């Protein structure tokens, strides 16, 4: 910190950068604290696409194209979650057979008849270890959900019910999907809501103070 002849204080570039970094760190900390208070149930979507394990890749691709989706949840005959299939999975499956632009969801492509079960993602590599399919619960806090998604590099997370069926190997039914961008949308809404409540409370306090002053108390 330097003091000029006029009595003003100036901040060096290094000091200014330090202040900015501290402010950014504090903002990130505040976001994390807010996300810990918010549950997945507040950000999840109950609108999602699902396909059967027995469906062909061609059927799955057409379903995604018709519904303007880039992924679908894969379920068994009892509606238990088995995996996720994305356009990326289909592209990798077809890359050796045909050069079609699958990224555009070309449902007219001559997709081979292999089954979704042989193409879908059934597990992930998380922190250097092979794990099952990554999921979360409706009462999971959004801070944990965000950490899981960022660490594994996924943009959508199936939300499943708790418990599971012992005779099905503790498989669970899907109840919703959490999209990565929905976490931040929910955070912004919560910040705006809290600001609104705070401003309303301040206005109320100011009005009460004015009334007291006008009455001579």
Distance CA 138, CA 147 (A): 16
Longest dimension (CA), the chain: 87
Q: What is the pLDDT of residues 23-58, one digit of tens each?
A: 444 555 588 889 999 999 999 999 999 999 999 999
pLDDT, position 69? 94
Instruction: Burial-class residue 86 by CB neighbours within 10 Å (0-12, 13-18, 19+).
Output: buried
DSSP 115: B
Inform me whether the pLDDT recorded for 190 exceeds 60: yes
CATH of 40-185 among 3.10.580.10, 3.40.605.10, 3.40.50.720, 3.40.630.30: 3.10.580.10
Inform me whether the pLDDT recorded for 170 exceeds 90: no
Domain segments of the chain as ranges: 40-185
């Amino acid at each position: 910190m330097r003091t000029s002849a006029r009595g003003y204080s100036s901040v060096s570039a290094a000091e200014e950068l330090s202040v900015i970094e501290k402010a950014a760190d504090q903002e990130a900390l505040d976001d994390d604290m807010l996300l810990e208070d918010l549950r997945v149930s507040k950000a999840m979507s109950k609108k999602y696409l699902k396909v059967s394990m027995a469906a062909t890749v061609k059927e799955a691709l057409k379903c995604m194209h018709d519904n303007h989706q880039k992924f679908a949840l894969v379920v068994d005959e009892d509606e238990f979650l088995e995996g996720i299939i994305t356009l990326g999975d289909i592209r990798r499956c077809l890359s050796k057979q045909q050069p079609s632009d699958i990224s555009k969801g070309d449902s007219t492509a001559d997709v081979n008849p292999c089954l979704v079960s042989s193409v879908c993602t059934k597990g992930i590599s998380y922190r250097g270890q092979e794990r099952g399919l990554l999921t979360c619960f409706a009462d999971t806090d959004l801070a944990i959900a965000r950490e899981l998604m960022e660490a594994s590099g996924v943009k959508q997370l199936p939300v499943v019910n708790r418990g599971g069926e012992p005779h099905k190997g503790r498989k669970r039914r899907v109840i919703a999907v959490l999209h990565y961008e929905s976490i931040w949308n929910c955070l912004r809404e919560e910040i705006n809501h809290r600001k609104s409540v705070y401003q309303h409370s301040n206005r109320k306090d100011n009005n009460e103070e004015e009334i007291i002053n006008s009455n001579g108390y």
